Amino acid sequence: MGSIVEYRCTACTFATGHLSVGWGKAGRRRFWGGLARCSPCKKIGVIDLTATNIDRGGNCVQCGGLLTLLEGISQSIECPRCGTAMHHAPLGTWM
């Protein structure tokens, strides 16, 4: 099962929205969501680690910049608005 998570900033109330990480019932070969950050605009998103192209489909939907994979789902992630460390909030699972 995959996890649905959200990162929230307590300083400025920014939230990433629902992010689907991990893999579902179909297994890692179908979709494997990895947490990533866009370097230019700092947007947090998910990339498919099963993609075979070099950047794994990891382009930011907001600015088109390359997404950089982050390790784990509980890593301290800076808020893109104010730079404060955001808190990890588990919201459920997906299959």
Residue 8 pLDDT: 94
Q: Express as a percent the part of the chain with pLDDT over 70.
A: 88
C-alpha torsion sign, points 44, 7, 83, 72: negative
Picking from 24, 17, 12, the residue whose alpha carbon sits closest to that of residue 89 is 17
Q: What is the pTM of this model?
A: 0.79
Report whether 88 contacts 9 (CB < 8 A). no
For residues 61-83, average pLDDT: 83
| Mean pLDDT taken over the chain | 84
pLDDT in tens, 18-60: 999 888 777 777 888 888 899 898 889 888 888 766 555 568 8
